[in-house]
């Protein structure tokens, strides 16, 4: 029979009872790592347990890539170059954009683990009852999603390269700059998505609104069409918004529309957005916490 | 968010008008009287739903704005394609604008009148459909009356604006026949969209994951429903005609109006019949939906 | 006893917007909303000791869930203080998290898409439970709740009873000394309910956990709780053992006896004549438990319990207290040799005591006992409008007597155990229809 620990001195955070751990990974580190592994793998585990869902994803991705290739080839049928992009660049950009959309799909919705769903079902209270801050949990979940999605992207990319739909990057240098910029872009995207999720704590109980917001975000980040085609006022507008930093910039670097020389300036802008959004979302998490605390979830 | 005013958002309290429950006995009121009564109930619930949405003012205003943003972003996208790639698939930009605006108007009307069907999976998952089964009103109608689609306001405002612009720019001679056809086309487009989502909703009774497909469908309609499908290869445009028939929403009727009737990859008669196809598709999807409902076994938990 | 859960003057006020009537009003509210304050919980005081199970009872919307949320640290109290295992919950959330486990009725904390066992593993890592302890506990919970039959099924496919059992296990994985359960058995079948009750008793008795439970299931209360706190309109109405509630709100019993001796009947008749009009008050004794309200209304005849009876203010109840040993016992009805005895006034004896007295005094040929069941008792407790901390507060008679006007046979009486528990959960449901 296990005796219950006495209530008043509460158990310490790290399990001090772990017998003499090996010198290198301290229990705290080990705990952090196992938490990370466990929480990050929620999405992949759920997906592997639902093969039809994975099939659906594959089918959708394939169809979407084909459609996009057809569309842009059709558009370029009578045109050599438009807004500084030729057909190969445009098709490459569009295909990569479709693939990148997979990195953070909405698969968490099926698992009822989105913020809006937790608010809706009232299960958000559990986020505030655990010895882990909600933003931490959110970050670990997002990390898992990104890594899992990245697997899909990589697979799709290799297939598209093999099929000749996408051209490889012009040089190793471009590839490296693209990789860094893509990583920064994913961070910006993470914060933008978090911003949308955090909005749910206040007004957005409306799933349709959320989808539309995601659509608008996609449009402004150049998922549907490179921003280069857009009217000047639109380009100016989006220069003041974080969205193009998520995808438009890295993909333009990949297809060579932004040269390596200009890329660093753009990446600096991405960095600024990351800092700003990190600060903003941190503030919002605090406010969301206060709101839960005031209203009880 | 916890305590107050939770009641007015559900249509339940206003539903019971005993007269609508009368089964069709010979002594009962005539069909037309019943129809009027049903319409009155629908109107009353819609009014209540609208008021319920006004309760959450931030959300209400945002809903209107969001509908508008959605449509504007599609317009921006359309203008991009029109200006960057003139002569899209052999269509003049004013003709393409007519497709886009008809599709948008059809979409706005769909959201306003029949759009709730898209949330079937949510309603099923949350067990909201179960009480509908025991209320004296067709379940499909109850689903449609679940809430008021605030974003339709924004949708329609922008759509009407764009439609007016398209009419103004078009060089067509707007005869009575054309006007009737354009109205029929928009209504047909609304029905095609409703039919697609109703068919998906039929699956939602049994498979919870349909939201994934619904979302894709909406995306496809947004991106491919507004442009001449002739820029796509034969296989793709055939798929959009016969598998996911979004060609019937606006492409065919607009093509018929603007004289592209013979080069749309289908027999001219089929293109002309687009509004009728919409009606048939909607009826069929409703039959499918009813069949699926009769096999509905509820959700556990 | 050392208190593990302690609430001192806890109050919570919610601020909400109200709408004005009519469509015009609704539009006007869009521009300038009208705010009101609603007191959900007022001045709640209680202490729960180690290894004690306390049932928090009250009608829907009484403030039970709000109280629990304040004690778990989800809600910050507007005023007052909560102390759970030596921690102020909302101030030191993380430390508090290790000390408490919580299950909120139908809201699951399990991961919807994963088998329940994987949810346990995630929670193990979140709480940092050592592997050996974890395995021990899982085995223990499995033994009591038979989890292994279904814990490899994905949570979305579990039945409600299975899911809540998993949720219970999940909330105890980190061995918390304090457990909060907000309607844990709602919607479960009898067999599973019994299993869960056994589990909870085990947790309290063997593991010495402190459990705070809300429920509408009176059988559960009778089986589990030594002590109850009755809360209504955000205040504590009563804090004590279950018998206390019975005594205060449901003292009604009836002894139906057929008397053999004519002399006894004459004696009773004489007593009745003597007693009429002496101000003893009453109910019709029809087993509704209404008469109990009397205890808080010394003037008796003004008590609504009396006026509700079909027999008028003095409803045919006749005091026998002048007979030796018959203090607090009266005659409710009489028909030839058949007499129905019942309690009268404050300090009426229990049914067993009365039985002894009746049999001792009279010659009885036939006898039947009737006691209110707990649900009737609770119904009368919920409908009574007695504020204050268990005191017989006289000012109670002034506060909204209208609540008595609803007859206790009302089908919507708050003791319906299947009804949704509190306003927050029903708000969650209705916001669905808002969605989209």
Who has greater pLDDT, B48 or C302? B48
Q: Flag whether residue C424 sits within 8 Å of chain B, measured between CB atoms.
A: yes
| The most confident of B38-42, C47-51, C349-353, by mean pLDDT | C47-51
- CB contact at 8 A, C89 and C212: no
Handedness of CA C198, C204, C207, C210 (dihedral sign): positive
pLDDT given for residue C397 in this prediction: 33
Asked whether the predicted pLDDT for residue B106 surpasses 50, the reply is: yes
* pLDDT tens-digit readout, A234-248: 888 888 888 888 888
Residue of B nearest to A108 (CA): B212
Q: Flag whether residue A205 sits within 8 Å of chain C, measured between CB atoms.
A: yes
Who has greater pLDDT, B37 or C434? B37
Handedness of CA B93, B94, B95, B98 (dihedral sign): positive
- The strand pairing partners of A28, in sequence order, are none
Angle at the Cα of B192 from the Cα atoms of B68 and A56, rounded to 5 degrees: 85
ipTM confidence:
0.77
Domains, chain C: 3-247 (3.40.50.300), 251-371 (no CATH)
Asked whether the predicted pLDDT for residue C300 surpasses 90, the reply is: no
Q: Phi and psi for B293 in degrees, rounded to 5? A: -60, -40
Q: Flag whether residue B114 sits within 8 Å of chain C, measured between CB atoms.
A: no
Q: Indicate yes or no: CB of B147 within 8 angstroms of CB of C434.
A: yes
Q: Flag whether residue C369 sits within 8 Å of chain A, measured between CB atoms.
A: no
pLDDT given for residue B2 in this prediction: 28
Who has greater pLDDT, B20 or C217? C217
* pLDDT tens-digit readout, C219-255: 788 888 888 888 888 888 888 887 777 777 766 778 8
Asked whether the predicted pLDDT for residue C35 surpasses 70, the reply is: yes
Contacts for C354 with CB less than 8 Å, ≥ 6 apart: C253, C255, C328, C329, C341, C343, C348
* Cα C268 off chain centre by: 39
Q: Indicate yes or no: CB of A219 within 8 angstroms of CB of B76.
A: yes
Q: Indicate yes or no: CB of A123 within 8 angstroms of CB of C76.
A: no
pLDDT given for residue C135 in this prediction: 93
* Cα B64 off chain centre by: 17
Asked whether the predicted pLDDT for residue C280 surpasses 70, the reply is: no
Helix (H) or strand (E) holding C3: strand C3-18
Residue of A nearest to C167 (CA): A126
Q: Flag whether residue A110 sits within 8 Å of chain B, measured between CB atoms.
A: yes
Rounded average pLDDT over C206-223: 86
Asked whether the predicted pLDDT for residue C84 surpasses 80, the reply is: yes
CA atoms within 13 A on the CB side of A112: 22
Packing angle between helix B274-294 and helix B176-204, nearest 10 degrees? Answer: 20
- CB contact at 8 A, A273 and A221: no
Q: Indicate yes or no: CB of B9 within 8 angstroms of CB of C434.
A: yes
Would you kindly state where each structural domain of chain B is located, as residue ranges? 32-294
d(CA C6, CA C301): 39
Asked whether the predicted pLDDT for residue C414 surpasses 70, the reply is: no
Angle at the Cα of C275 from the Cα atoms of C273 and C277, rounded to 5 degrees: 100
CA atoms within 13 A on the CB side of B162: 31
Would you kindly state where each structural domain of chain A is located, as residue ranges? 40-295
Contacts for B125 with CB less than 8 Å, ≥ 6 apart: B208, B299
Please report, in tens digits, the pLDDT of each residue of chain A (297 residues total): 334 443 444 444 444 444 444 455 677 788 788 888 888 888 888 888 877 778 888 888 888 888 888 888 888 877 778 778 888 888 999 899 888 877 665 566 667 778 888 887 888 888 888 888 888 899 988 888 888 888 888 999 999 999 888 888 888 999 999 999 999 998 998 898 888 888 888 765 556 566 666 777 777 888 778 888 888 888 888 888 888 888 889 999 998 888 888 889 989 999 999 999 999 999 999 888 888 877 665
Q: pLDDT band at residue B282, thresholds of 50, 70 and 90? A: very high
| Closest in B56, B73, B84 to A215, CB measured | B73
d(CA A70, CA A79): 15
Distances (CA, A) of C106 to A111, A121, C57, C65, C426: 17, 9, 18, 13, 11
Residue of B nearest to C163 (CA): B301
Write down the mean pLDDT value for chain C: 74
Residue A10 DSSP code: P
pLDDT given for residue B196 in this prediction: 92
Q: Flag whether residue C111 sits within 8 Å of chain A, measured between CB atoms.
A: yes
| Closest in C424, C429, C432 to B2, CB measured | C424
Q: Indicate yes or no: CB of C160 within 8 angstroms of CB of B11.
A: no
Classify C93 as helix, strand or coil.
helix
Distances (CA, A) of C62 to B74, B256, C84, C245, C428: 50, 65, 22, 17, 17
| Closest in B1, B85, B209 to A75, CB measured | B85
Task: Please state which of the ranges A35-39, A125-129, B19-23, B183-187 shows the lowest mean pLDDT.
Answer: B19-23
pTM of the shown model? 0.71
pLDDT given for residue C137 in this prediction: 92
The CB density around residue C11, as the number of other CB atoms within 10 Å, is 19
Give chain A positions within 8 Å (CB) of C90.
Answer: 293
Distances (CA, A) of C180 to A41, B301, C71, C101: 29, 22, 9, 6
Give chain A positions within 8 Å (CB) of B1.
Answer: 295
CA nearest C99: which of C118, C65, C73, C135? C73
Angle at the Cα of B191 from the Cα atoms of B187 and B195, rounded to 5 degrees: 175
Give chain B positions within 8 Å (CB) of C40.
Answer: 3
- Share of residues in chain B with pLDDT > 70 (%): 87
Asked whether the predicted pLDDT for residue B194 surpasses 70, the reply is: yes
* pLDDT tens-digit readout, A18-28: 444 445 567 77
């Amino acid at each position: 029979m296990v005796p219950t620990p006495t209530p008043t001195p509460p158990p310490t955070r790290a399990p001090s009872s772990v017998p003499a751990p090996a010198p290198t990974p301290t229990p705290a580190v080990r705990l952090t790592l196992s938490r990370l592994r466990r929480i990050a793998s929620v999405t992949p585990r759920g997906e592997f347990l639902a093969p039809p869902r994975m099939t659906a994803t594959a089918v959708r991705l394939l169809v979407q890539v084909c459609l996009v290739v057809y569309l842009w080839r059709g558009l370029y049928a009578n045109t050599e170059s438009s807004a500084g992009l030729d057909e190969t660049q445009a098709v490459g950009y569009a295909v990569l954009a479709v693939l990148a959309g997979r990195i953070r799909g909405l698969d968490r919705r099926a698992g009822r683990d989105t913020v809006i769903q937790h608010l809706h079902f009232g299960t958000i209270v559990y986020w505030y009852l655990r010895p882990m801050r909600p933003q931490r949990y959110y970050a670990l979940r997002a990390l898992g999603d990104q890594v899992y999605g990245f697997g899909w992207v990589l697979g799709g990319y290799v297939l598209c390269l093999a099929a000749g739909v996408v051209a490889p990057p012009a040089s190793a240098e471009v590839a490296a700059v693209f990789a860094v910029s893509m990583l920064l872009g994913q961070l910006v995207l993470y914060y933008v998505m978090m911003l949308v999720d955090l909005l749910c704590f206040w007004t957005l109980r409306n799933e349709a609104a959320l989808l539309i917001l995601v659509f608008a975000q996609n449009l402004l980040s150049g998922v549907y069409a490179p921003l280069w085609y857009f009217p000047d006022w639109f380009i100016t507008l989006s220069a003041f918004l974080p969205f193009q930093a998520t995808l438009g910039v890295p993909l333009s670097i990949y297809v060579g529309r932004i040269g390596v020389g200009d890329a660093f300036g753009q990446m600096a802008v991405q960095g600024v957005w990351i800092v700003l959004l990190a600060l903003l979302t941190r503030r919002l998490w605090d406010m969301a916490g206060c709101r839960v605390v005031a209203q009880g979830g | 968010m916890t305590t107050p005013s939770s009641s007015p958002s559900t249509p339940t309290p206003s539903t019971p008008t005993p007269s609508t429950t009368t089964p069709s006995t010979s002594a009962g009121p005539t069909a037309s009287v019943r129809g009027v009564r049903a319409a009155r109930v629908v109107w009353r619930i819609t009014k209540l739903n609208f008021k319920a949405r006004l309760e959450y003012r931030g959300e209400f205003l945002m809903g209107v704005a969001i509908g508008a943003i959605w449509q504007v972003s599609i317009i921006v996208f359309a203008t991009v394609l029109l200006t960057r790639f003139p002569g899209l698939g052999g269509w003049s930009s004013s003709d393409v604008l007519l497709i886009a605006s008809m599709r948008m108007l059809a979409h706005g009307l769909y959201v306003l009148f029949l759009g709730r069907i898209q949330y079937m999976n949510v309603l099923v998952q949350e067990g909201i459909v179960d009480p509908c089964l025991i209320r004296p009103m067709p379940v499909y109608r109850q689903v449609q009356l679940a809430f008021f689609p605030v974003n339709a306001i924004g949708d329609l405002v922008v759509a009407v604006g764009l439609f007016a612009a398209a009419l103004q720019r078009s060089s067509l001679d707007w005869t009575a026949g054309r006007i009737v056809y354009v109205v029929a086309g928009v209504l047909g487009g609304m029905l095609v969209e409703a039919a697609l989502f109703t068919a998906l909703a039929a699956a939602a009774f049994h498979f919870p994951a349909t939201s994934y497909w619904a979302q894709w469908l909406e995306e496809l309609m947004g991106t491919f429903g507004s442009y001449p499908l002739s820029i796509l290869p034969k296989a793709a445009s055939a798929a959009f005609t016969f598998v996911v028939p979004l060609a019937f929403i606006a492409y065919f009727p607009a093509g018929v109006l603007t004289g592209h009737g013979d080069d749309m990859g289908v027999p001219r008669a089929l293109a002309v019949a687009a509004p009728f196809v919409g009606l048939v598709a909607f009826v069929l999807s409703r039959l499918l939906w009813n069949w699926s409902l009769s096999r509905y076994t509820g959700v556990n938990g | 006893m050392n208190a593990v859960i302690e609430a001192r003057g806890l109050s919570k006020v919610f601020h909400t917007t109200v709408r004005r009537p009519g469509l015009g009003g609704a539009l006007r509210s869009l521009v300038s909303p009208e705010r009101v304050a609603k007191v959900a919980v007022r001045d709640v005081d209680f202490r729960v000791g180690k290894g004690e199970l306390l049932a928090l009872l009250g009608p829907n919307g009484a403030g039970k869930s709000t109280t629990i949320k304040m004690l778990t640290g989800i809600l910050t109290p507007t005023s007052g203080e909560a102390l759970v295992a030596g921690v102020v919950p909302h101030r030191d959330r993380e430390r508090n998290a290790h000390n408490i486990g919580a299950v909120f009725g139908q809201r699951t904390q399990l991961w919807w898409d994963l088998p329940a066992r994987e949810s346990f593993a995630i929670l193990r890592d979140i709480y940092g439970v050592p592997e050996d302890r974890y395995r021990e506990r899982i085995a223990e919970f499995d033994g009591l709740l038979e989890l292994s039959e279904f814990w490899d099924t994905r949570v979305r496919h579990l039945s409600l009873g299975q899911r809540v059992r998993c949720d219970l296990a999940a909330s105890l994985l980190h061995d918390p000394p304090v457990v909060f359960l907000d309607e844990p058995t709602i919607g479960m079948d009898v067999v599973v309910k019994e299993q869960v009750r056994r589990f909870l008793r085990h947790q309290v008795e063997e593991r010495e956990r402190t459990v705070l439970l809300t429920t509408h299931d009176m059988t559960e209360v009778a089986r589990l709780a030594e002590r109850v706190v009755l809360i209504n309109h955000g205040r504590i109405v009563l804090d004590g053992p279950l018998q206390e509630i019975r005594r205060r709100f449901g003292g009604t019993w009836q002894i139906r006896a057929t008397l053999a001796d004519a002399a006894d009947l004459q004696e009773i008749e004489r007593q009745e004549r003597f007693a009429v009009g002496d101000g003893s008050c009453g109910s019709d004794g029809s087993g509704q438990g209404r008469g109990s309200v009397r205890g808080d209304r010394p003037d008796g005849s003004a008590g609504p319990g009396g006026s509700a009876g079909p027999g008028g203010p003095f409803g045919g109840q006749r005091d026998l207290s002048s007979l030796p040993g018959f203090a607090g016992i009266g005659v409710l009805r009489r028909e030839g040799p058949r007499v129905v005895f019942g309690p009268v006034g404050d300090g009426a004896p229990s049914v067993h005591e009365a039985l002894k007295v009746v049999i001792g005094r009279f010659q009885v040929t036939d006898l039947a006992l009737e006691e209110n069941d707990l649900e009737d008792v609770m119904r009368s407790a919920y409908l009574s409008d007695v504020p204050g901390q268990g005191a017989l507060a006289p000012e109670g008679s002034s506060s909204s007597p209208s609540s008595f006007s609803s007859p206790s046979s009302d089908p919507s009486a708050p003791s319906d155990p299947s009804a949704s528990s509190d306003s927050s959960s029903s708000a969650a449901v209705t916001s669905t229809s808002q969605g989209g």
